[in-house]
Amino acid sequence: MRKSASLLFAFSLLAVGYLLGSTNSLSPASLWAQDDGNATNAVSQDTLDKIAAARNALQDAHDALVSEGLYKPATKGLNPIDILAGGVNAQADLEAGVGVDPGTFAALYAGLAIDEVAEQLGRDAEGRLTYKKRLIQMYPVTRIQKLYQAAGVVTEQNQF
């Protein structure tokens, strides 16, 4: 009798756990990291205007650097550090396999490569992004520091 009561209790506990788990009755309402669209924008209109002006200025600088041959991006969109630093040749860096700046690295992983570059992208056995079957890496830290200094983001006083 004692053994059958223990088995019945264990089966009941298992059944209740299964039912609670399958109906999500004890789960939190939402665990998404993404915005659910209900959040309000706390940024003032003045700040939004300044952001728009900064973006327009970056676009103008981008266009000027490209027309002067000083900037050859490998990704779509604006890369503020590269633009503020006076341009880089990300396509040549990919070809040489010497690494790319952090903005280009992130944009490549985000699927924002320009068409000519996207044709040559792939993945290695570990799922890392490759260009012409060579692993894409970021610049060495010293080159990233120089890039940020050239962009005026980091000065001698607040250097890494």
**Average pLDDT in the 85-114 region?**
94
**Average pLDDT in the 91-116 region?**
94
The answer for residues whose C-beta is within 8 angstroms of residue 145's C-beta and 6 or more apart is: 154, 159, 160
**Side-chain half-sphere CA neighbours of 99 within 13 A:** 10
pLDDT at residue 134, rounded to an integer? 94
Q: Average pLDDT over the chain, rounded to whole?
A: 85
Instruction: Look at residue 158 and tell me whether its pLDDT is greater than 60.
Output: no
Instruction: Look at residue 157 and tell me whether its pLDDT is greater than 80.
Output: no
Percent of the chain with pLDDT over 90: 61
**Angle CA 125–131–136, to nearest 5:** 75
Task: Tell whether pTM > 0.75.
Answer: no
**Average pLDDT in the 126-135 region?**
94
pLDDT at residue 62, rounded to an integer? 95
Q: Where are the alpha helices (DSSP H) in the chain?
A: 2-23, 45-67, 80-84, 90-96, 102-109, 115-118, 141-150
Nearest Cα neighbor of 135 from 80, 97, 108 is: 97
Query: Model confidence over 1-59: pLDDT tens digits?
Result: 677 777 777 777 777 777 777 776 666 655 555 555 555 568 899 999 999 999 999 99
